[in-house]
Chains A and B, each alone.
Chain A
Amino acid sequence: MQILELTCRQLRDKIAGGEVKSVDATTAVFEQIEKHDRQIGAYISTFKEQALAKAKQVDEKIAAKKPVGLLAGVPIAIKDNMCTTFGATTCASKILENFHSPYNATAVEKLLAADAVIVGKTNLDEFAMGSSTENSGLKKTVNPHDFSRVPGGSSGGAAAAVAAKMCFAALSSDTGGSIRQPASFCGIAGLKPTYGRVSRYGLVAYGSSLDQIGPLAKNVEDCALLLDVIAGHDEKDSTSVDEKTAPVRDWLSAVNNKPQNLKIAIVPELFKGADGEVVESVKKAIEIYKSSGAEIIEIKMPHFDYAIAAYYLIATAEASSNLARYDGVHYGHRTKNPADYIEVYSKSRDEALGDEVKRRIMLGTYALSSGYYDAYYLKALKVRNLIRSDFTAAFAKADCIVMPTSPTTAFKLGEKTNDPLQMYLADIYTIAVNLAGVPGISIPCGFDKNNLPIGLQIIAPAFAEEKLLQIAMLFENKTDFCKTAF
C-alpha cells in the first residue's frame, strides 16, 4: 500500500484502526515535500517537528483507545492567509513576512480540535488577489502536472500541495474562485461553501462580503469530511450564520446518498466563452448525468456576463478598506527614516505591497471616492442584486447549475501577468457564485490534449451543500478523472 495514494477518509480510517501510523503518513508527506517542493514551491513554511510530535501523540491516543477527532492523524496544509499561533502568517506579502499571529483562525482551531496534523502553510497570490499565484510577494509556485504552467490562484500553493501528494488535503479560501479554479487547474476537488457557513475569524480579510473558507482535497468525499470539521456558527464572526438557519450536518455520511429526481440547469450561452476541449468535457459530463437519470434544463442567466465588472468594483472597494490596516504602526513592515507620520503609512505601504495589491487598493479607493461612489460602487451593488436574482430564478427550476470552472486549462507562467484585465476575465465562471453567496464545487471531468486537467463546476442554492456534494459524488462514482501528480 502506498500511503500517499490514500484519501483523507481512507487514511483516517486506517489510522483509527491501527493499520497505519500517523507518524508514518506524516513522515511520507515530508519525504515527498523534500523530494518535490524545491521545484513546485507550494509551501511558504513547514512544521516538521511539530507535525511529527502531533502524529506521535495521535498514535499514542489510538493505541491507548482514547477518543480522537474526525481527522485524527491526517496531514493537512493551510493556505497562508489564515492566522496561526505557530509559524508566520504572511499572506505571501512582504508587509506581513514576519507577522506572528497572537491567535488561531477558528477554522484552524477546528482542525486542531479534530486532531489533524498541520504540515505547513501554502503559497498564494498576495492577499489572495490573483488567479495564478504569480502575484505572490514571496515565491513562485508551478503546476505539478506541468512545471511551465501556473497552478491557478489564488490558492495555487494549496492546490499544488494536494495534487503533488505533499499533504492529504488543504484548508483554503475563495473570494472569486480561489478554491475552485486552482482545483480545476490541478485536477483535484475544491469546495466553496455558502457565504456564512464557515467562520472567517482569523482569515485575513480581502473582500469581506465574498471571502469564504473551504477545502481542497483529492475527491468529493474528502471535501465532505473537511466541511464536517470546519462548518458552524462562531460568536467571533457575526457573518457566520446561526445553526438554526444553517444546520451543520454529517455531510460525510450523507454524501453517498443518490440525489432523487435530479434536475440540472445548464446555460448554453455561457459555453461560448470557453475553449473547445473544455466545453467538450463539460458536455460529456452532462451526458453522464443524463444517463444516470437527471433531467437537463436549458436556462438563461442574463446578468451573468456582468459579474466580472461588478466584482472588480465591489471586491476592490472592500479590499481598499480592509487593507487600510497595513499602516506600518501596529504590525508588519515599517519604512526606515520616515520624514513624518504620513510617510509611515505611505512609504511602508509602497515598499512592501505588490503591484496587484496596490492596483486593487487604488481601484477600490477610486470606486468609493466622492463623486464616483454612485457611478461605480453603488451601481455594482445593484448589479450584484440582479446577478443573485438570476441564481434565484435558476434554482426555482433546478437543483443545481453546471458549467465549466474555468474557460481554459492551466495557462503558461507569465502568459497573463502584463495585462491585469485579461487575468480578471479568466474568472468568468467562478465570480458570480461569490457575488450570490451560494456554494460551488469544482471536480475533475477530463483532460485536454496536453493531458492537463479540466474542471466541472456545480453550483447549488445557499446552504444546500448536502445536495451539492451528493450531485458531485454521483459524477465521481461513475468516472475516474481525479489525478494527482507523480
Chain B
Amino acid sequence: MDKKKINIEQVKQVAKLARLNLSEAEIAQFSTQMSDILQYVEKLDRLDTANIEPLAHCLPVSNCLREDIVKPSLGTEKTLANAPDSDGQFFIVPKILDEAGGP
C-alpha cells in the first residue's frame, strides 16, 4: 500500500484540475515532495481551532464599492497586443465545440 499522504493517482487528479500536463517523472517527484510538505503541515492539527474564525485578510476595511461610472479601458489593439494568436478583433483558440455541438 502507498503510505504517502498523496499518491500517484491523486497527484494526477490534482494536475488535471490545475490544467498541468505533467510528465510521469514530474508526477512521481511531486507525489514524494507534496507528501513531505503535507506531512509537515499536519502540525496545524495540534491546535484547537473549533471556536476560531477564519481570517482571509487583515484589512480594517470590507466591501469597497465605487460609483458605477463608465471610464475608458484599454481598447482592442492594446488588449490583443500580447495574444499568442488573434485576428485583430478576437483571440483565436482551437475549436471548443465538436460537430454535434457538445464539448
Contact = CB atoms under 8 A, between A and B. Distances in A.
B45 to A, nearest CB: 8
For chain A, give the interface size range. Answer: 35 or more
Interface string A364-386: 01100100000010111111111
Given A238-B64, A320-B18, A342-B19, A309 B55 contact: no
A474 interface: no
A333 interface: yes
A275 B82 CA distance: 47
Interface in B52-92: 52-61, 64, 66, 74, 78-79, 81-85, 91
A362 B30 contact: yes
Interface stretch (A57-65, A96-104, A394-402): A96-104
Contacts of A346: 19-21
Given A342-B19, A421-B37, A365 B93 contact: no
A140 interface: no
Given A358-B22, A379-B44, A341 B59 contact: no
A385 B19 contact: no
A110 interface: no
A205 B84 CA distance: 21
A196 to B, nearest CB: 5
A484 interface: no
Main secondary structure of the interface of A (DSSP, over half): helix
Interface of A: 98-100, 102-103, 195-196, 209, 235, 238-239, 241-242, 245, 303, 306, 308-310, 312-313, 320, 324, 327-334, 338, 340-347, 349-350, 353, 355, 358-359, 361-363, 365-366, 369, 376, 378-386, 388, 420-421, 424, 436-438, 462
Contacts of A338: 94
Interface of B: 6, 10-11, 14-15, 17-23, 26, 30, 33-34, 36-38, 40-41, 43-45, 47, 49, 52-61, 64, 66, 74, 78-79, 81-85, 91, 93-96
A332 B84 contact: yes
A332 B19 CA distance: 16
Contacts of A388: 55, 58
19 contacts: A103-B74, A196-B59, A238-B64, A239-B57, A239-B64, A245-B60, A320-B18, A330-B82, A344-B94, A349-B21, A350-B20, A358-B26, A358-B30, A365-B18, A369-B14, A378-B54, A385-B52, A420-B33, A421-B40
